[in-house]
Amino acid sequence: MRFDIITLFPELFAPLLTSGITRRAYESGLVEVHFWNPRDHAEGRYRRVDDRSFGGGPGMVMLAEPLFKCLTAIRAERQETSPAPLVLFSPIGQTLNHGAVEQWSASAGAVMLCGRYEGVDQRFIDQYVDQQISLGDFVLSGGEIAAMALLDAVARLQPGVLGDEGSHQLDSFNPALDGLLDSPHYTRPEVWQGHAVPAELMSGHHAHIARWRREQSLSLTAMHRPDLLEQARQAGCLNRQDDAFLKQSLASMTGAKEPPSGEKL
């Protein structure tokens, strides 16, 4: 797959492409990444890529023309019968989640526009942007960090990138975990600062270990992301044992909150 990234700061991506385990995806060509600077397609002595906003107000707006010329050059080089989608990272976009990452990881790639300043001239967005993506309800200085997040998430799903082929299948939000949060993890030493590894993980009994992890996953999801738990229930992913455990856990938590008999509040 190929990603063409339109950015004024391509140098920001260097550590992502050369560090960590996901670098295998880029070095092997599983994920091709090409950078395009709109300033190379701007006119005038200063190759200006932004200007003041009509109507006044603070900040600058990215000019449509350099972006159009940059996109035209990308389309010419990609030579696709079916043009790859142009993605803009924007607060109004759909929030990126695991399902979307899986779809991108199985795609041919995209052209990603990293906005800067107050944003991009709306006429370019209306005319050429196919999809908008957000990381969440906050604002970044530019789209580069969002683009890196998508690249990293996609790269680690490619075959052979992670050391263990099944590693990502046990990640939080993965369908293999019914979309729930992952369970806690422990390593050596067995006792650290007086705290021992849970006995279930030391039992060597694979069925008991699997059940412990499932229950931990259910507990964490119920506590921190009840929306994911409800989605799993609606999808029919919870069995009777799961429901019984959750009911018992809820009763235990409720009981712990009740004051002892005779205690005044």
Q: DSSP per residue over 67-111, as a string?
A: HHHHHHHHHHHH--SSPPPEEEEEEEEEEP-HHHHHHHHTS-EEE
pLDDT at residue 264, as a whole number: 43
Give the C-alpha separation, 171 to 182, whole Å.
6
Give the C-alpha separation, 227 to 168, whole Å.
22
- Catalytic site residue 258? no
- Catalytic site residue 171? yes
Closest CA to 16 of 171, 168, 157, 155: 155
pLDDT at residue 247, as a whole number: 96
Instruction: Identify the active-site residue in 118, 152, 182, 200.
Output: 118
Tokens standing for 216? Answer: 């931990």
- Catalytic site residue 190? no
Instruction: Give 10-residue mean pLDDT values along the chain (265 residues).
Output: 98 97 95 98 95 95 98 96 96 96 97 97 98 97 98 95 73 94 97 98 97 98 97 97 96 67 46
Instruction: Identify the active-site residue in 4, 50, 121, 156.
Output: 156
Instruction: Identify the active-site residue in 91, 175, 198, 226.
Output: 91
- Catalytic site residue 48? no
The strand pairing partners of 161, in sequence order, are none
pLDDT at residue 64, as a whole number: 98
In the chain the domains, ranked by start, together with CATH numbers, are 2-155 (3.40.1280.10), 175-257 (1.10.1270.20)
pLDDT at residue 260, as a whole number: 53
Burial of 263 per CB tally in 10 Å (0-12, 13-18, 19+): exposed
pLDDT at residue 164, as a whole number: 64
